[in-house]
């Protein structure tokens, strides 16, 4: 009798083990694989992505992520549109223009909440406010200001009352630090990033003034995280998990800047650690502004960006901005 009971218990145990194994197999769902097309070469600007990989945040969300370096030959919009990447990093103005051309992208978060571009000058030249530029030679991307890269400087002039002919212009050819200013070729340089480029100048021992475009109403999201509208409609849960892990990475990055700067070197070993650490420190105020969640976007900024594009003839008519960005994936 005892033997029969033992056999029954053994049988039940085996059945239970089989059921648990089956359940475990069902739970072990294969990880979702996604590719992110970065907007530029590897660097600490993308610290949140690196951190989410290194700290296992993506793994916790059951996602495997490939981070593709960008560069002048790669357009993230094209890479996402053709399916080579599921997520891309792109500017708000570029996404609006793409929308006007029939491409439907949606921004699901932003890296910099504030525009980090600025007009740079040496502190010794005392160029501290817009009117100080009058009569000076200003470095721009084209001498007649027709380059798309001069758009925000034109908007800056429009909003500060500066006349285009009140200054002289010189072509920026050296974008590393303040060499063009120190050489006497120009008194100020437009459109410099108040993150990596200001670190270059300070490492060279130059004291500089920065006149931020954002302080004069020139608002634009420089690097939003975007997907196609179709991908959003079909993959909301995956996008929610991806954004959650990424922004968790950026939260950790702003709290541990020196540590996460080291992660960037795993993607490009030629990077200088001290420089990456200083850049990470410099970009924290643009990532975490203290008045809204990291990664969140403001409708006002999108409206200002569109107004600038219309004002300078880049856009013939407004597009539906409400379909172009969402904060639904950003935790409050």
Q: What is the pLDDT of residues 290-326, one digit of tens each?
A: 999 999 999 999 999 999 999 999 999 999 999 999 9
Q: Under a CB-based contact definition with an 8 Å cutoff, are residues 49 and 65 in contact?
A: yes
Two tokens, residue 47: 């610290």
Q: Is the pLDDT of residue 9 over 70?
A: no
The domains found in the chain, sorted by start residue, are 32-114+221-323 (3.40.190.10), 117-216 (3.40.190.10)
Q: Under a CB-based contact definition with an 8 Å cutoff, are residues 239 and 108 in contact?
A: yes
Return the axis-axis angle of helices 299-311 and 92-100, rounded to nearest 10°: 60
Q: Which strand ranges, in their side-by-side order, compose the sheet holding 224-228? A: 63-68, 32-37, 87-90, 224-228, 105-110
Q: What is the DSSP letter of 120?
A: E
Give the pairing type, strands 168-171 and 105-110. unpaired
Q: What is the pLDDT of residue 162?
A: 98
Q: Which strand ranges, in their side-by-side order, compose the sheet holding 117-122? A: 168-171, 137-140, 188-193, 117-122, 208-212
Q: What is the pLDDT of residue 8?
A: 42
27 pLDDT band, cuts 50/70/90, is: low
The H-or-E segment that residue 137 falls in is strand 137-140
Compute φ and ψ for 122, nearest 5 degrees: -75, 140
Query: Residues 217-240: what's their mean pLDDT?
Result: 98
Two tokens, residue 185: 């070729």
Give the pairing type, strands 87-90 and 224-228. antiparallel
Instruction: Supply the mean pLDDT for the chain.
Output: 92
Nearest to 304 by CA among 294, 295, 315, 293: 315
Q: What is the pLDDT of residue 225?
A: 98
Q: Count how many Cα atoms sit within 13 Å of the Cα of residue 101 in the half-sphere of its side chain.
A: 10
Q: In angstroms, what CA-CA distances link 235 with 88, 107, 229, 319?
A: 15, 14, 10, 24
- Tell me the per-residue pLDDT of 55-104, one tens digit each, with 9 for 90 and over: 999 999 999 999 999 999 999 999 999 999 999 999 999 999 999 999 99
How far apart CA 49 and CA 44 sit, in angstroms, is 9
Query: Residues 189-214: what's their mean pLDDT?
Result: 92
Quick check: helix, strand or coil at residue 75? coil
pTM over 0.85: yes
Q: Is the pLDDT of residue 197 over 90?
A: no
- Tell me the per-residue pLDDT of 138-174, one tens digit each, with 9 for 90 and over: 999 999 999 999 999 999 999 999 999 999 999 999 9
With 0-12 CB in 10 A as exposed, 13-18 as middle and 19+ as buried, what is 202?
A: middle
Q: Is the pLDDT of residue 12 over 90?
A: no
Q: Which of 13-22, 189-198, 225-234 has the lowest mean pLDDT?
A: 13-22
């Amino acid at each position: 009798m005892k033997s029969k009971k033992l056999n029954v218990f053994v049988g039940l145990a085996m059945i239970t083990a089989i059921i648990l194994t089956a359940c475990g197999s069902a739970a072990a769902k294969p990880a979702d694989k996604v590719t992110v097309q970065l907007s530029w070469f590897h660097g600490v600007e993308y610290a949140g992505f690196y951190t989410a990989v290194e700290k296992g945040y993506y793994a916790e969300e059951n996602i495997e992520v490939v981070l593709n370096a960008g560069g002048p030959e790669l357009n993230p919009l094209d890479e996402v549109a053709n399916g080579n990447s599921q997520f891309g990093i792109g500017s708000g103005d570029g996404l609006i223009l793409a929308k006007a051309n029939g491409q439907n992208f949606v921004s699901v978060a932003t890296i910099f909440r504030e525009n980090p571009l600025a007009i740079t000058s040496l502190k010794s030249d005392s160029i501290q406010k817009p009117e100080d530029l009058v009569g000076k030679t200003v470095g721009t991307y084209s001498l007649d200001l027709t380059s798309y890269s001069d758009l925000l400087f034109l908007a800056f002039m429009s909003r500060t009352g500066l006349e285009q002919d009140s200054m002289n212009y010189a072509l920026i050819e050296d974008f590393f630090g303040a060499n063009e200013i120190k050489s006497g070729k120009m008194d100020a340089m437009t459109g410099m990033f108040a993150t990596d480029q200001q670190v270059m100048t300070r490492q060279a021992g130059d004291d500089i003034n920065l006149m931020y475009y954002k302080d004069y109403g020139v608002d634009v999201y420089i690097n939003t995280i975007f997907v196609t509208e179709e991908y959003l409609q079909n993959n909301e849960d995956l996008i929610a998990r991806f954004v959650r892990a990424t922004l968790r990475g950026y939260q950790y990055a702003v709290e541990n800047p020196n540590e996460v700067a080291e992660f960037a070197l795993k993607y490009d070993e030629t990077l200088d650690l001290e420089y990456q650490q200083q850049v990470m420190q410099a970009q924290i105020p643009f990532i975490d502004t203290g008045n809204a969640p990291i990664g969140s976007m403001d409708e006002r900024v999108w409206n200002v960006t569109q107004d600038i594009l219309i004002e300078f003839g880049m856009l013939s008519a407004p597009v539906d901005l409400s379909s172009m960005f969402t904060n639904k994936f950003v935790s409050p």
